[in-house]
Amino acid sequence: MQTVERMLSKNPNHLSVDLSALAKCVNACAACGLVCTECADACDGERPELAALRRCVRLNLDCAAICGATANVLSRQLLPDGALLRAQLEACAVACAVCGDECENHAEAHEHCRVCAEACGRCEELCRTVLRNLSAG
């Protein structure tokens, strides 16, 4: 059992969602936030092509902020507001989809964008999984 899942399982306040899925989502959000930050930094280093990567940088930074906030919100299980959780998960999934699509546009030329697009895709998928579980519960 990974650290995040262990910690979530020790909390006496549980969300009505599978803890394993929740932990995977929290981990994916945290990782995606870091990867997006690094991708923005790497794009900034692509000096000859920086103008073409400006949208990518912006979306990376927005996605990183949203992913970080999502990981934090999902980690807190005391008296959650279902509507707020669903809105946060939806925002994160949308941010990841938009950022991932933009990174995919640059993936052939920039390996950091390919890695970022993959992280965004995984995070989007896991956010949507938890969102479905919350909506069903």
User: For the segment 17-75, what is each residue's pLDDT rounded down to a tens digit?
Assistant: 788 899 999 999 999 999 999 999 999 999 888 899 999 999 999 999 999 999 999 99
Residue 46: which of 58, 33, 57 has the closest Cα?
A: 57
- pLDDT-derived band of residue 2, with 50, 70 and 90 as boundaries? confident
Query: Rounded to the nearest 5 degrees, what angle is found at the Cα of 74, between the Cα atoms of 97 and 79?
Result: 140
d(CA 49, CA 134): 42
Residue 44 DSSP class = H
Tell me the mean pLDDT in the region 102-110: 96
d(CA 121, CA 25): 12
